[in-house]
Amino acid sequence: MADPTVNHLFDLVRTHLPADPGGKTFIETHDGKRFSYADLLARSGAYAGALAGLGVRPGDRVAVQVEKSAEVIFLYLGAVRAGAVFLPLNTAYTGPEIAYFLGDAEPALFVCDPARAAELSEVAGRAGVPEIRTLDAGGSGSMAEAADGASTDFADIPRGPDDLAAILYTSGTTGRSKGAMLSHDNLASNALTLAQYWHFGPDDVLIHALPVFHTHGLFVATNIVLATGGTMLFLPRLDAGKILELMPRATAMMGVPTFYTRLLKEPGLTREATAHMRLFVSGSAPLLAETHREWSERTGHAILERYGMTETNMNTSNPYEGARRAGTVGFPLPGVALRVVDPETGAPLGPEEVGMIEVKGPNVFKGYWRMPEKTAAELKVDGFFITGDLGKIDRDGYVHIVGRGKDLIITGGYNVYPKEIETEIDALPGVVESAVIGLPHADFGEGVTAVVVPGANAPDEASIIAALEGRLAKYKCPKRVLFAPDLPRNTMGKVQKNLLREAHAELYRC
Ligand code: AMP
Protein backbone atom coordinates (compact mmCIF):
# COMPACT_ATOMS: atom_id res chain seq x y z
CA MET A 1 0.00 0.00 0.00
CA ALA A 2 3.05 2.29 -0.42
CA ASP A 3 1.94 5.64 -1.79
CA PRO A 4 3.69 7.36 -4.66
CA THR A 5 6.02 10.17 -3.65
CA VAL A 6 4.23 13.51 -3.51
CA ASN A 7 6.08 16.51 -4.94
CA HIS A 8 3.90 19.25 -3.57
CA LEU A 9 1.69 19.15 -0.50
CA PHE A 10 -0.89 21.32 -2.22
CA ASP A 11 -1.25 18.72 -5.02
CA LEU A 12 -2.75 16.54 -2.33
CA VAL A 13 -5.49 19.12 -1.83
CA ARG A 14 -6.07 19.59 -5.56
CA THR A 15 -6.34 15.88 -6.29
CA HIS A 16 -8.94 15.40 -3.56
CA LEU A 17 -11.07 18.48 -4.13
CA PRO A 18 -14.80 17.83 -3.91
CA ALA A 19 -16.70 17.92 -7.23
CA ASP A 20 -18.48 21.08 -6.12
CA PRO A 21 -15.86 23.02 -4.14
CA GLY A 22 -18.25 25.90 -3.46
CA GLY A 23 -20.92 23.61 -2.03
CA LYS A 24 -18.73 21.60 0.32
CA THR A 25 -17.76 22.91 3.75
CA PHE A 26 -14.08 22.60 4.63
CA ILE A 27 -14.19 24.38 8.01
CA GLU A 28 -17.09 25.43 10.19
CA THR A 29 -16.05 27.56 13.16
CA HIS A 30 -17.53 27.62 16.68
CA ASP A 31 -19.29 30.90 15.89
CA GLY A 32 -21.02 29.49 12.83
CA LYS A 33 -18.76 30.74 10.01
CA ARG A 34 -18.47 28.34 7.10
CA PHE A 35 -15.58 28.13 4.68
CA SER A 36 -15.99 25.99 1.56
CA TYR A 37 -13.30 24.32 -0.52
CA ALA A 38 -13.76 27.18 -3.02
CA ASP A 39 -12.91 29.57 -0.16
CA LEU A 40 -9.86 27.45 0.63
CA LEU A 41 -8.62 27.71 -2.97
CA ALA A 42 -9.27 31.44 -3.22
CA ARG A 43 -8.03 32.42 0.21
CA SER A 44 -4.86 30.30 0.14
CA GLY A 45 -4.14 31.75 -3.32
CA ALA A 46 -4.58 35.26 -1.94
CA TYR A 47 -2.26 34.53 1.00
CA ALA A 48 0.33 33.05 -1.37
CA GLY A 49 0.13 36.23 -3.50
CA ALA A 50 0.32 38.44 -0.40
CA LEU A 51 3.38 36.57 0.88
CA ALA A 52 5.13 36.94 -2.48
CA GLY A 53 4.21 40.64 -2.41
CA LEU A 54 5.83 40.97 1.02
CA GLY A 55 9.06 39.60 -0.36
CA VAL A 56 8.72 35.99 0.83
CA ARG A 57 10.69 33.84 -1.60
CA PRO A 58 10.66 30.04 -2.04
CA GLY A 59 12.50 28.44 0.87
CA ASP A 60 11.95 31.46 3.15
CA ARG A 61 10.47 30.80 6.57
CA VAL A 62 7.11 32.30 7.56
CA ALA A 63 6.92 32.31 11.37
CA VAL A 64 3.43 32.48 12.83
CA GLN A 65 2.27 32.83 16.43
CA VAL A 66 -1.48 33.36 16.30
CA GLU A 67 -4.68 32.01 17.82
CA LYS A 68 -6.53 29.25 16.02
CA SER A 69 -8.77 30.31 13.11
CA ALA A 70 -9.70 29.17 9.62
CA GLU A 71 -7.54 32.02 8.30
CA VAL A 72 -4.37 30.58 9.80
CA ILE A 73 -5.05 27.34 7.93
CA PHE A 74 -5.36 29.36 4.72
CA LEU A 75 -2.14 31.17 5.59
CA TYR A 76 -0.44 27.79 6.11
CA LEU A 77 -1.66 26.60 2.71
CA GLY A 78 -0.73 29.94 1.13
CA ALA A 79 2.81 29.59 2.46
CA VAL A 80 3.00 26.06 1.04
CA ARG A 81 1.72 27.27 -2.35
CA ALA A 82 4.27 30.11 -2.35
CA GLY A 83 7.04 27.55 -1.83
CA ALA A 84 7.78 28.98 1.62
CA VAL A 85 8.37 27.07 4.87
CA PHE A 86 5.53 27.41 7.39
CA LEU A 87 6.74 27.76 10.97
CA PRO A 88 3.97 27.76 13.58
CA LEU A 89 4.80 28.69 17.17
CA ASN A 90 3.02 27.79 20.39
CA THR A 91 0.75 30.65 21.47
CA ALA A 92 2.08 30.31 25.03
CA TYR A 93 5.62 31.41 24.08
CA THR A 94 6.79 34.60 25.75
CA GLY A 95 8.75 37.45 24.13
CA PRO A 96 12.20 36.06 25.10
CA GLU A 97 11.22 32.62 23.77
CA ILE A 98 10.01 34.14 20.50
CA ALA A 99 13.32 36.01 20.26
CA TYR A 100 15.13 32.65 20.25
CA PHE A 101 12.93 31.15 17.52
CA LEU A 102 13.12 34.22 15.27
CA GLY A 103 16.89 34.45 15.75
CA ASP A 104 17.31 30.76 14.94
CA ALA A 105 14.90 30.47 12.00
CA GLU A 106 15.55 33.90 10.43
CA PRO A 107 12.10 34.14 8.86
CA ALA A 108 11.29 36.61 6.07
CA LEU A 109 8.02 37.41 7.82
CA PHE A 110 6.58 37.06 11.32
CA VAL A 111 2.81 37.02 11.83
CA CYS A 112 1.58 37.59 15.40
CA ASP A 113 -1.55 38.41 17.33
CA PRO A 114 -2.46 42.13 17.10
CA ALA A 115 -2.76 42.22 20.91
CA ARG A 116 0.98 41.50 21.19
CA ALA A 117 2.11 43.46 18.13
CA ALA A 118 3.84 46.25 20.05
CA GLU A 119 5.91 43.87 22.21
CA LEU A 120 6.69 41.39 19.44
CA SER A 121 7.48 43.99 16.73
CA GLU A 122 10.36 45.04 18.90
CA VAL A 123 11.46 41.42 19.39
CA ALA A 124 11.20 40.74 15.64
CA GLY A 125 13.03 43.97 14.82
CA ARG A 126 15.92 43.02 17.11
CA ALA A 127 16.07 39.59 15.45
CA GLY A 128 16.34 41.28 12.04
CA VAL A 129 12.99 40.02 10.71
CA PRO A 130 12.17 42.30 7.75
CA GLU A 131 8.36 42.13 7.86
CA ILE A 132 5.77 41.71 10.63
CA ARG A 133 2.01 41.40 10.15
CA THR A 134 -0.92 40.49 12.42
CA LEU A 135 -3.82 38.04 12.50
CA ASP A 136 -6.33 37.63 15.33
CA ALA A 137 -8.63 34.80 16.43
CA GLY A 138 -11.46 36.25 14.33
CA GLY A 139 -9.26 36.16 11.20
CA SER A 140 -8.66 39.94 11.05
CA GLY A 141 -5.39 41.85 11.02
CA SER A 142 -2.85 43.33 8.65
CA MET A 143 -1.95 39.89 7.24
CA ALA A 144 -5.59 39.24 6.32
CA GLU A 145 -5.76 42.74 4.81
CA ALA A 146 -2.74 42.00 2.66
CA ALA A 147 -4.54 38.88 1.41
CA ASP A 148 -7.74 40.90 0.78
CA GLY A 149 -5.73 43.08 -1.60
CA ALA A 150 -4.09 40.18 -3.47
CA SER A 151 -5.40 38.20 -6.43
CA THR A 152 -6.94 34.86 -5.54
CA ASP A 153 -5.26 33.29 -8.59
CA PHE A 154 -1.83 32.05 -7.76
CA ALA A 155 0.29 29.64 -9.76
CA ASP A 156 1.79 27.33 -7.12
CA ILE A 157 5.57 27.50 -6.95
CA PRO A 158 6.80 24.05 -8.01
CA ARG A 159 8.50 22.07 -5.25
CA GLY A 160 10.21 18.71 -5.04
CA PRO A 161 9.35 15.98 -2.50
CA ASP A 162 12.39 16.78 -0.34
CA ASP A 163 11.84 20.54 -0.29
CA LEU A 164 10.74 21.85 3.08
CA ALA A 165 7.07 22.63 3.68
CA ALA A 166 7.33 23.32 7.42
CA ILE A 167 9.59 23.63 10.41
CA LEU A 168 8.10 22.62 13.73
CA TYR A 169 10.07 23.25 16.88
CA THR A 170 10.17 20.43 19.41
CA SER A 171 8.76 21.25 22.82
CA GLY A 172 12.30 21.26 24.26
CA THR A 173 11.65 20.07 27.80
CA THR A 174 15.36 19.20 28.04
CA GLY A 175 17.69 21.74 26.53
CA ARG A 176 17.00 23.99 23.60
CA SER A 177 14.07 23.55 21.31
CA LYS A 178 15.10 22.16 17.92
CA GLY A 179 13.50 22.96 14.55
CA ALA A 180 12.34 19.74 12.86
CA MET A 181 12.51 20.17 9.08
CA LEU A 182 9.51 18.53 7.38
CA SER A 183 9.34 18.10 3.62
CA HIS A 184 6.35 18.15 1.29
CA ASP A 185 6.56 14.38 0.96
CA ASN A 186 6.96 13.82 4.74
CA LEU A 187 3.64 15.54 5.34
CA ALA A 188 1.74 14.39 2.27
CA SER A 189 2.74 10.72 2.49
CA ASN A 190 1.77 10.52 6.17
CA ALA A 191 -1.60 12.17 5.53
CA LEU A 192 -2.38 9.71 2.73
CA THR A 193 -1.31 6.71 4.78
CA LEU A 194 -3.38 7.75 7.80
CA ALA A 195 -6.42 8.66 5.71
CA GLN A 196 -6.42 5.17 4.21
CA TYR A 197 -5.60 3.39 7.46
CA TRP A 198 -8.36 5.16 9.39
CA HIS A 199 -10.86 4.98 6.50
CA PHE A 200 -11.31 8.73 6.09
CA GLY A 201 -13.48 9.93 3.21
CA PRO A 202 -15.31 13.01 1.93
CA ASP A 203 -18.31 12.34 4.18
CA ASP A 204 -16.25 12.55 7.35
CA VAL A 205 -16.85 15.42 9.74
CA LEU A 206 -13.98 15.82 12.20
CA ILE A 207 -14.30 17.55 15.57
CA HIS A 208 -11.15 19.64 15.78
CA ALA A 209 -10.46 21.14 19.22
CA LEU A 210 -6.65 20.77 19.11
CA PRO A 211 -4.21 23.65 18.74
CA VAL A 212 -2.91 24.22 15.19
CA PHE A 213 0.71 24.94 16.09
CA HIS A 214 1.44 21.27 16.84
CA THR A 215 1.80 18.21 14.60
CA HIS A 216 -1.41 16.64 15.94
CA GLY A 217 -3.83 19.48 15.11
CA LEU A 218 -2.05 20.91 12.09
CA PHE A 219 -0.74 17.89 10.26
CA VAL A 220 -2.51 14.75 11.46
CA ALA A 221 -5.99 16.26 11.71
CA THR A 222 -5.98 18.99 9.06
CA ASN A 223 -3.91 17.22 6.39
CA ILE A 224 -6.04 14.07 6.59
CA VAL A 225 -9.17 16.11 5.99
CA LEU A 226 -7.45 17.95 3.13
CA ALA A 227 -6.39 14.62 1.65
CA THR A 228 -9.96 13.37 1.58
CA GLY A 229 -12.12 16.44 0.97
CA GLY A 230 -13.92 16.17 4.32
CA THR A 231 -15.16 18.73 6.82
CA MET A 232 -13.77 20.04 10.13
CA LEU A 233 -15.73 21.56 13.00
CA PHE A 234 -13.31 23.99 14.65
CA LEU A 235 -13.39 24.73 18.37
CA PRO A 236 -10.81 27.16 19.73
CA ARG A 237 -9.87 24.76 22.52
CA LEU A 238 -10.98 21.71 24.47
CA ASP A 239 -14.53 22.24 25.70
CA ALA A 240 -16.15 18.94 26.66
CA GLY A 241 -19.70 20.35 26.66
CA LYS A 242 -19.33 21.80 23.15
CA ILE A 243 -17.74 18.61 21.84
CA LEU A 244 -20.76 16.65 23.08
CA GLU A 245 -23.06 19.10 21.31
CA LEU A 246 -21.19 18.56 18.02
CA MET A 247 -21.10 14.76 18.14
CA PRO A 248 -24.51 14.17 16.54
CA ARG A 249 -23.22 16.02 13.44
CA ALA A 250 -19.73 14.56 13.43
CA THR A 251 -18.10 11.25 12.56
CA ALA A 252 -14.62 11.48 14.09
CA MET A 253 -12.57 13.19 16.78
CA MET A 254 -8.86 13.40 17.43
CA GLY A 255 -7.69 14.35 20.88
CA VAL A 256 -5.00 14.04 23.49
CA PRO A 257 -5.83 11.82 26.50
CA THR A 258 -7.13 14.83 28.47
CA PHE A 259 -9.99 15.11 25.95
CA TYR A 260 -11.16 11.66 26.93
CA THR A 261 -10.77 12.07 30.69
CA ARG A 262 -12.67 15.39 30.56
CA LEU A 263 -15.44 13.96 28.40
CA LEU A 264 -15.80 11.02 30.78
CA LYS A 265 -16.68 13.52 33.52
CA GLU A 266 -19.69 14.68 31.46
CA PRO A 267 -22.88 12.85 32.47
CA GLY A 268 -24.12 13.38 28.87
CA LEU A 269 -21.46 11.05 27.47
CA THR A 270 -23.50 7.99 26.53
CA ARG A 271 -23.94 5.48 23.72
CA GLU A 272 -26.70 7.63 22.25
CA ALA A 273 -24.59 10.80 22.37
CA THR A 274 -21.79 9.08 20.41
CA ALA A 275 -23.99 7.02 18.10
CA HIS A 276 -23.17 9.15 15.02
CA MET A 277 -19.41 8.92 15.60
CA ARG A 278 -17.34 6.24 13.89
CA LEU A 279 -13.84 6.98 15.22
CA PHE A 280 -12.11 8.38 18.31
CA VAL A 281 -8.34 8.79 18.01
CA SER A 282 -5.97 9.50 20.89
CA GLY A 283 -2.30 10.41 20.81
CA SER A 284 0.53 12.79 21.80
CA ALA A 285 0.66 11.30 25.30
CA PRO A 286 -0.11 7.88 26.82
CA LEU A 287 -3.78 7.04 27.25
CA LEU A 288 -4.40 5.22 30.50
CA ALA A 289 -5.70 1.68 29.93
CA GLU A 290 -8.38 2.57 32.48
CA THR A 291 -9.59 5.49 30.34
CA HIS A 292 -9.76 3.19 27.30
CA ARG A 293 -11.88 0.70 29.23
CA GLU A 294 -14.18 3.30 30.78
CA TRP A 295 -14.72 4.89 27.37
CA SER A 296 -15.68 1.53 25.84
CA GLU A 297 -18.12 0.85 28.67
CA ARG A 298 -19.78 4.26 28.43
CA THR A 299 -19.91 4.66 24.65
CA GLY A 300 -19.35 1.27 23.04
CA HIS A 301 -16.40 2.78 21.09
CA ALA A 302 -12.81 1.52 21.43
CA ILE A 303 -10.50 4.54 21.32
CA LEU A 304 -7.85 4.11 18.63
CA GLU A 305 -4.46 5.04 20.07
CA ARG A 306 -1.59 6.03 17.80
CA TYR A 307 1.99 7.13 18.34
CA GLY A 308 3.98 9.81 16.62
CA MET A 309 6.16 12.82 17.20
CA THR A 310 7.09 16.19 15.72
CA GLU A 311 10.12 14.74 13.92
CA THR A 312 8.42 11.71 12.40
CA ASN A 313 4.74 12.49 11.98
CA MET A 314 2.82 9.31 12.86
CA ASN A 315 4.65 6.00 13.28
CA THR A 316 2.20 3.44 14.61
CA SER A 317 -1.52 2.97 15.05
CA ASN A 318 -3.89 0.50 16.53
CA PRO A 319 -5.88 -1.17 13.76
CA TYR A 320 -9.07 0.29 12.34
CA GLU A 321 -10.41 -3.23 11.97
CA GLY A 322 -9.14 -5.64 14.60
CA ALA A 323 -8.38 -5.35 18.27
CA ARG A 324 -7.43 -1.90 19.58
CA ARG A 325 -5.44 -2.88 22.63
CA ALA A 326 -5.49 -0.58 25.62
CA GLY A 327 -2.03 0.48 26.74
CA THR A 328 -0.48 -0.17 23.32
CA VAL A 329 0.06 2.09 20.31
CA GLY A 330 -0.64 -0.63 17.76
CA PHE A 331 1.40 -1.60 14.72
CA PRO A 332 3.88 0.30 12.54
CA LEU A 333 1.95 2.12 9.80
CA PRO A 334 2.29 0.88 6.21
CA GLY A 335 5.64 2.04 4.85
CA VAL A 336 7.11 2.65 8.34
CA ALA A 337 9.85 0.35 9.66
CA LEU A 338 10.10 0.22 13.46
CA ARG A 339 12.69 -1.60 15.53
CA VAL A 340 13.63 -1.80 19.19
CA VAL A 341 17.36 -1.76 19.89
CA ASP A 342 19.71 -1.91 22.82
CA PRO A 343 20.28 1.76 23.71
CA GLU A 344 23.98 1.14 24.39
CA THR A 345 25.03 -1.09 21.51
CA GLY A 346 22.29 -0.45 18.94
CA ALA A 347 21.80 -4.22 18.54
CA PRO A 348 18.22 -5.23 17.60
CA LEU A 349 16.20 -6.74 20.44
CA GLY A 350 13.61 -9.50 20.31
CA PRO A 351 9.89 -9.48 21.13
CA GLU A 352 8.98 -8.32 24.66
CA GLU A 353 12.47 -6.85 25.21
CA VAL A 354 12.50 -3.19 26.23
CA GLY A 355 14.86 -0.83 24.41
CA MET A 356 15.09 2.28 22.27
CA ILE A 357 12.50 2.67 19.52
CA GLU A 358 13.86 3.62 16.11
CA VAL A 359 11.80 4.37 13.00
CA LYS A 360 12.42 4.79 9.28
CA GLY A 361 10.11 5.75 6.45
CA PRO A 362 8.84 8.56 4.23
CA ASN A 363 7.38 10.14 7.39
CA VAL A 364 10.79 10.77 9.00
CA PHE A 365 11.98 14.38 8.91
CA LYS A 366 14.99 15.80 7.08
CA GLY A 367 16.94 16.78 10.19
CA TYR A 368 17.15 19.63 12.70
CA TRP A 369 17.34 23.15 11.34
CA ARG A 370 20.94 24.36 11.46
CA MET A 371 21.95 21.61 13.91
CA PRO A 372 23.99 19.16 11.82
CA GLU A 373 25.57 17.51 14.86
CA LYS A 374 22.23 16.87 16.56
CA THR A 375 20.86 15.56 13.27
CA ALA A 376 23.82 13.22 12.82
CA ALA A 377 23.47 12.02 16.42
CA GLU A 378 19.80 11.10 16.06
CA LEU A 379 19.38 10.16 12.37
CA LYS A 380 21.48 7.07 11.74
CA VAL A 381 23.26 6.47 8.44
CA ASP A 382 20.87 3.61 7.65
CA GLY A 383 17.98 6.10 7.78
CA PHE A 384 16.59 5.09 11.19
CA PHE A 385 15.70 7.90 13.60
CA ILE A 386 16.38 7.39 17.29
CA THR A 387 13.06 8.46 18.78
CA GLY A 388 14.17 8.79 22.40
CA ASP A 389 11.19 6.64 23.39
CA LEU A 390 11.71 3.36 25.19
CA GLY A 391 9.37 0.54 24.33
CA LYS A 392 8.87 -3.01 23.21
CA ILE A 393 7.08 -5.02 20.55
CA ASP A 394 4.94 -7.75 22.07
CA ARG A 395 4.51 -11.26 20.66
CA ASP A 396 1.45 -10.16 18.70
CA GLY A 397 3.34 -7.27 17.10
CA TYR A 398 1.75 -4.46 19.12
CA VAL A 399 4.13 -1.67 20.10
CA HIS A 400 4.20 -0.52 23.73
CA ILE A 401 5.77 2.75 24.88
CA VAL A 402 7.28 2.56 28.34
CA GLY A 403 8.43 6.16 28.55
CA ARG A 404 10.93 8.68 27.28
CA GLY A 405 14.56 7.55 27.53
CA LYS A 406 15.31 10.56 29.69
CA ASP A 407 12.62 9.43 32.16
CA LEU A 408 14.29 6.05 32.66
CA ILE A 409 15.31 5.62 36.31
CA ILE A 410 18.61 4.01 37.23
CA THR A 411 18.59 2.99 40.86
CA GLY A 412 21.44 1.04 42.40
CA GLY A 413 22.54 0.14 38.87
CA TYR A 414 19.15 -1.27 37.88
CA ASN A 415 16.97 0.15 35.14
CA VAL A 416 13.41 0.96 36.18
CA TYR A 417 10.80 1.80 33.55
CA PRO A 418 8.32 4.21 35.15
CA LYS A 419 5.34 2.93 33.16
CA GLU A 420 5.51 -0.50 34.82
CA ILE A 421 5.30 1.04 38.29
CA GLU A 422 2.65 3.57 37.25
CA THR A 423 0.45 0.79 35.87
CA GLU A 424 0.59 -1.06 39.21
CA ILE A 425 -0.13 2.08 41.24
CA ASP A 426 -2.96 3.21 38.96
CA ALA A 427 -4.66 -0.16 39.43
CA LEU A 428 -4.92 0.38 43.21
CA PRO A 429 -8.35 1.41 44.50
CA GLY A 430 -8.54 5.10 45.35
CA VAL A 431 -5.78 6.14 42.95
CA VAL A 432 -6.68 8.41 40.03
CA GLU A 433 -3.28 8.40 38.36
CA SER A 434 0.42 8.55 39.08
CA ALA A 435 3.80 9.60 37.75
CA VAL A 436 6.96 7.77 38.75
CA ILE A 437 10.24 9.67 38.65
CA GLY A 438 13.84 9.23 39.74
CA LEU A 439 15.24 11.73 42.25
CA PRO A 440 18.87 12.19 43.28
CA HIS A 441 19.70 9.76 46.09
CA ALA A 442 23.03 9.43 47.88
CA ASP A 443 22.97 5.60 48.09
CA PHE A 444 21.14 4.57 44.96
CA GLY A 445 22.01 7.32 42.50
CA GLU A 446 18.32 7.79 41.92
CA GLY A 447 15.47 6.94 44.24
CA VAL A 448 12.24 5.64 42.70
CA THR A 449 9.54 8.11 43.70
CA ALA A 450 5.83 8.10 42.96
CA VAL A 451 3.64 11.18 42.73
CA VAL A 452 0.05 10.04 43.17
CA VAL A 453 -3.22 11.84 42.47
CA PRO A 454 -5.60 10.51 45.13
CA GLY A 455 -9.28 9.77 44.53
CA ALA A 456 -12.00 8.92 47.05
CA ASN A 457 -10.77 6.67 49.90
CA ALA A 458 -7.21 6.94 48.70
CA PRO A 459 -4.59 4.73 50.35
CA ASP A 460 -1.78 6.44 52.28
CA GLU A 461 1.92 6.27 51.50
CA ALA A 462 2.62 3.21 53.63
CA SER A 463 -0.26 1.19 52.20
CA ILE A 464 0.73 2.01 48.60
CA ILE A 465 4.28 0.85 49.25
CA ALA A 466 2.99 -2.26 51.04
CA ALA A 467 0.61 -3.08 48.18
CA LEU A 468 3.44 -2.88 45.64
CA GLU A 469 5.95 -4.92 47.61
CA GLY A 470 4.44 -8.27 46.71
CA ARG A 471 4.00 -7.31 43.06
CA LEU A 472 7.24 -5.63 42.08
CA ALA A 473 10.90 -6.45 42.64
CA LYS A 474 12.18 -4.59 45.68
CA TYR A 475 14.41 -2.22 43.68
CA LYS A 476 11.41 -1.07 41.61
CA CYS A 477 9.24 -0.17 44.60
CA PRO A 478 8.98 3.55 45.31
CA LYS A 479 11.05 4.69 48.28
CA ARG A 480 8.59 7.51 48.80
CA VAL A 481 5.06 8.27 47.64
CA LEU A 482 4.06 11.92 47.38
CA PHE A 483 0.53 13.17 46.80
CA ALA A 484 -0.61 15.98 44.49
CA PRO A 485 -4.07 17.20 43.45
CA ASP A 486 -3.07 16.77 39.78
CA LEU A 487 -0.05 16.15 37.56
CA PRO A 488 1.56 19.03 35.64
CA ARG A 489 0.69 18.65 31.95
CA ASN A 490 1.55 20.69 28.87
CA THR A 491 -1.02 21.72 26.24
CA MET A 492 -0.66 18.37 24.49
CA GLY A 493 -1.52 16.47 27.66
CA LYS A 494 2.01 15.25 28.36
CA VAL A 495 2.99 14.90 32.01
CA GLN A 496 5.93 17.23 32.59
CA LYS A 497 8.14 14.94 34.64
CA ASN A 498 10.96 17.44 34.41
CA LEU A 499 8.86 19.83 36.55
CA LEU A 500 8.18 17.09 39.10
CA ARG A 501 11.89 16.25 39.25
CA GLU A 502 12.76 19.91 39.77
CA ALA A 503 10.10 20.43 42.43
CA HIS A 504 11.22 17.43 44.50
CA ALA A 505 14.95 17.41 43.75
CA GLU A 506 15.83 17.74 47.45
CA LEU A 507 13.56 14.96 48.73
CA TYR A 508 16.34 12.48 49.61
CA ARG A 509 18.90 15.13 50.44
CA CYS A 510 17.26 16.35 53.60
P1 AMP B 1 5.60 15.70 20.19
O2 AMP B 1 6.83 15.83 19.36
O3 AMP B 1 5.28 16.92 20.99
O4 AMP B 1 4.43 15.24 19.37
O5 AMP B 1 5.90 14.57 21.27
C6 AMP B 1 6.22 13.28 20.84
C7 AMP B 1 6.32 12.35 22.00
O8 AMP B 1 5.05 12.17 22.62
C9 AMP B 1 6.75 10.97 21.61
O10 AMP B 1 8.14 10.87 21.40
C11 AMP B 1 6.24 10.15 22.77
O12 AMP B 1 7.13 10.23 23.87
C13 AMP B 1 4.95 10.87 23.14
N14 AMP B 1 3.77 10.19 22.57
C15 AMP B 1 3.08 10.50 21.45
N16 AMP B 1 2.04 9.67 21.29
C17 AMP B 1 2.07 8.80 22.34
C18 AMP B 1 1.27 7.69 22.75
N19 AMP B 1 0.20 7.33 22.08
N20 AMP B 1 1.64 7.04 23.88
C21 AMP B 1 2.72 7.41 24.59
N22 AMP B 1 3.51 8.45 24.26
C23 AMP B 1 3.19 9.14 23.14
Q: What is the pLDDT of residues 45-100, one digit of tens each?
A: 999 999 999 999 999 999 999 999 999 999 999 999 999 999 999 998 999 889 99
pLDDT-wise least confident of 3-17, 54-68, 448-462: 3-17
Q: Distance between CA atoms of 71 and 158, rounded to whole angstroms? A: 23
Index of the ligand 1 atom closest to the CA of residue 401: 21
493 C-alpha to ligand 1 centroid (Å): 10
Q: Is the pLDDT of residue 461 over 80?
A: yes
Q: Where in 102-174 does DSSP place strands (E)?
A: 109-112, 131-134, 164-169
Higher pLDDT, 165 or 416: 165
Q: What is the pLDDT of residues 348-368, one digit of tens each?
A: 999 999 999 999 999 999 999
Q: Is the pLDDT of residue 176 over 90?
A: no
Q: Is the pLDDT of residue 347 over 70?
A: yes
Q: Can you give the pLDDT at residue 6?
A: 80
Q: Is the pLDDT of residue 403 over 80?
A: yes
Q: What is the pLDDT of residues 276-306, one digit of tens each?
A: 999 999 999 889 898 999 999 999 999 999 9
CB 30 less than 6 A from any atom of ligand 1 = no
**Which amino acid would we find at residue 86?**
F
Mutate-to-test residue for ligand 1 from 169, 220, 280, 284, highest number of ligand atoms within 8 A of CB: 284
Q: Can you give the pLDDT at residue 389?
A: 94
Give long-range contacts, CB 8 A cutoff, 24+ apart: 301-306: 301/274, 301/277, 303/260, 304/198, 304/279, 304/280, 304/330, 305/281, 305/329, 305/330, 306/281, 306/282, 306/330
CB 309 less than 6 A from any atom of ligand 1 = yes
CB 401 less than 6 A from any atom of ligand 1 = yes
pLDDT, the chain, mean: 95
The CA-CA-CA angle for residues 206, 209, 211, to 5°, reads 120
310 C-alpha to ligand 1 centroid (Å): 9
The residue whose C-alpha atom lies closest to atom 20 belonging to ligand 1 is 286
Q: Can you give the pLDDT at residue 3?
A: 56
Q: Distance between CA atoms of 434 and 415, rounded to whole angstroms? A: 19
Name the DSSP letter for residue 288: P
- Return the H-helix or E-strand segment holding 180: strand 179-183
At a CB cut-off of 8 Å and minimum separation 6, what does 20 contact? none
CB 230 less than 6 A from any atom of ligand 1 = no
pTM higher than the cut 0.95 = no
CB 90 less than 6 A from any atom of ligand 1 = no
**Which amino acid would we find at residue 387?**
T
Average pLDDT for residues 221-238, to the nearest whole number? Answer: 97
Query: What are the residues facing 252 on neighbouring strands?
Result: 206, 279
Name the DSSP letter for residue 474: G
Average pLDDT for residues 179-194, to the nearest whole number? Answer: 98
pLDDT-wise least confident of 83-92, 109-118, 169-178, 183-192: 169-178
Q: pLDDT confidence of 4, banded at 50, 70, 90?
A: low
Q: Can you give the pLDDT at residue 464?
A: 97
Dihedral sign of CA atoms 305, 169, 3, 331 in order: negative
CB 389 less than 6 A from any atom of ligand 1 = yes
Q: Is the pLDDT of residue 172 over 70?
A: no
